[in-house]
Amino acid sequence: MTQLDERDLTDVEQPKLPHGFRFRTADEAGPNAAVQAHLDAWAPSTYTEEAYQGVRRTAPYSGDLHILVEAPDGTIASATIT
């Protein structure tokens, strides 16, 4: 059995971040930030910048849809690939 779920995103509220936090794309933040976000979330991990560059070369990847949340101190607090 296959199920396809769809949702129109026009009725979704805009996300609100705590003061001082901001959204960044992986393209803006750079590969080091994207890799460090992965390592922080999935430690222990052997993920490397070289592996990330391999992901970037895949057809479905788009750096503007790889969203990071940067904390006031510059660390990445959250990341998702949409």
Answer yes or no: is 65 within a domain.
Answer: yes
For the chain (82 residues), the mean pLDDT of every run of 10, in chain order, is: 86 91 96 94 94 94 95 94 84
Q: Indicate whether this model's pTM tops 0.85.
A: no
Which of 38, 47, 27 lies closest to 76, judged by CA? 38
User: Cα separations (Å) of 46 from 17, 23, 42, 49, 50?
Assistant: 30, 26, 9, 10, 11
Buried b (16+ CB within 10 A) or exposed e, 61-77: eebeebbbbbeeeeebe
Answer yes or no: is 11 within a domain.
Answer: no
- Domain coverage including residue 44: 19-81
Answer yes or no: is 77 within a domain.
Answer: yes
Answer yes or no: is 45 within a domain.
Answer: yes
Answer yes or no: is 24 within a domain.
Answer: yes
Answer yes or no: is 76 within a domain.
Answer: yes
How many structural domains comprise the chain? 1
Q: What is the pLDDT of residue 27?
A: 95
Answer yes or no: is 67 within a domain.
Answer: yes
Q: What is the pLDDT of residue 18?
A: 96
Answer yes or no: is 53 within a domain.
Answer: yes
Q: For the chain, how many residues are written? A: 82
